[in-house]
Amino acid sequence: MARALELARRGPAHGPNPRVGCVLLGADGATLGEGWHRGAGTPHAELAALTDARERGSDVRGATAVVTLEPCDHTGRTGPCSRALVEAGVARVVLAVEDPNPLASGGARTLRAAGVEVQAGLLADEGREVLGPWFEAVSRGRPFVTLKVAASLDGRVAAADGSSRWITSEESRRHAHALRAQVDAIAVGSGTVRADDPSLTARGDDATLTAHQPLRVVVGRTEVPAGARLRGPGGELVQIASHDPHEVLAALHGREVRHVLVEGGPTLAAAFLRARVVDEVHAYVAPVLLGSGPSAIGDLGIGTIDAAVRLEPHEVYRLGPDVLVVARPRGAAAPQTSIVRTTSEES
């Protein structure tokens, strides 16, 4: 199973489908084949492992399939993995995590009905960690929401004159771009579009666009200007004419978005916090003092310290002179996100 999890991590962290790995074992414990899911539209991990076994000349009849997620039981872009395993003559399936997707689950039941022995729950915690935001998004029926904040030590996102480039360091910005490359969508408010004219692209160390570009989502009813950088190279531009975070997430869920990064500004951040749909906060804090200027978070309607939004830090990283704090609302489950790590980080 540890090897299957290693294979699963090779799959993309973004996209509508989960990261899954599979290893086929013979009666003597020898590896007959292995595979992983490489993204939407490609063979699932079980089919990839069966293909690998066939190319090796391995006979998989009576084999054990070790897979990180319950084999699917539905026909989408590919056929049901549960039936493919049955038809291949696999005798036993060991899985880490049962599929939370009602459209795809049921593979274990189909396998058992066909006489295949099924064991579930091996290294389940590690399996959910590899699945990351996908698991929570599918379980809840809405995208996993990461709120990103980049601010001075006194909580400002810009100076009094509106200038904000750059509060945080190059190391923090590099890390943030790596995070963008892992999510399905980036959301900002229409006010941020007017004030900052962001491009909302994911760029590598050489400033070129990465292979995966997330959807660029503008929340609000004001049209994006014709000459805005959002209309330039990058991910698809999507405008959602609403100020209700629940409506925004429903629209993104309809587009099979599993992980959305809310980047700003203060008004949008406050709206998502008030709606209690923020699953994780990434706060990049720079050792800079401004004393005035807009705050990172807008009005939350909190009048007393007892009503404060309390977060629990789960990770703290050093990024050059800055600090990244990854936190979740109190009472939330242990985080399943895969934090982007760079060589400059120190815990």
Rounded distance between C-alpha atoms, residue 33 and residue 56, angstroms: 7
Strand ranges inside 206-291, DSSP E:
215-219, 237-240, 259-264, 280-286
Q: How many helices, marked H, and strands, marked E, lie in the chain?
A: 10, 14
Q: Give me the pLDDT at residue 333, please.
A: 56
Question: Model-level pTM?
Answer: 0.90
Structure letter (DSSP) for residue 210: P
CATH number of 2-131: 3.40.140.10
**Through-space distance between the first and last CA atoms of the chain, rounded to whole angstroms:** 28
Phi/psi-derived region of residue 331, left when phi > 0, alpha when psi is between -120 and 50, beta in every other case = left
Residue among 6, 34, 46, 70 flagged as catalytic: 46
d(CA 187, CA 273): 14
Is 167:136 a contact under the CB 8 Å cutoff? no
- 338 to 159, 222, 312: CA distances (angstroms): 32, 34, 17
pLDDT for 79 equals 79
Looking at the domain that runs over 137-346, which CATH code has it been given? 3.40.430.10
Q: Domain spans of the chain? A: 2-131, 137-346
**DSSP line for 30-68:** -EEEEEE--STTSPPHHHHHHHHHHHHT---TT-EEEEE
Task: Kindly give the confidence (pLDDT) of every residue in the chain, 347 residues in length, as a single tens digit, with 9 standing for 90 and above.
Answer: 999 999 999 999 899 999 999 999 999 999 999 999 998 889 999 999 999 999 999 999 999 999 999 999 987 777 799 999 999 999 999 999 999 988 778 999 999 999 999 999 999 999 999 999 999 999 999 999 999 999 999 999 988 988 888 899 999 999 999 999 999 999 999 999 998 899 999 999 888 999 999 999 999 999 999 999 999 999 999 999 999 999 999 999 999 999 999 997 899 999 999 999 999 999 999 999 999 999 999 999 999 999 989 999 999 999 999 999 999 988 665 545 445 544 334 32
Q: State how far the Cα of 194 lies from the Cα of 191, in Å rounded to an integer.
A: 5
State how far the Cα of 47 lies from the Cα of 90, in Å rounded to an integer: 12
Residue located via tokens 């869920």: 253
Q: Is 46 a catalytic residue?
A: yes
Residue 174 near residue 300, CB atoms below 8 Å: no
What pLDDT shows up at residue 170?
Answer: 93
What phi, psi does 271 have (nearest 5°)? -60, -45
pLDDT for the residue 103: 79
> Would you tell me the crossing angle of helices 81-88 and 45-56 to the nearest 10 degrees?
30
pLDDT at 102: 82
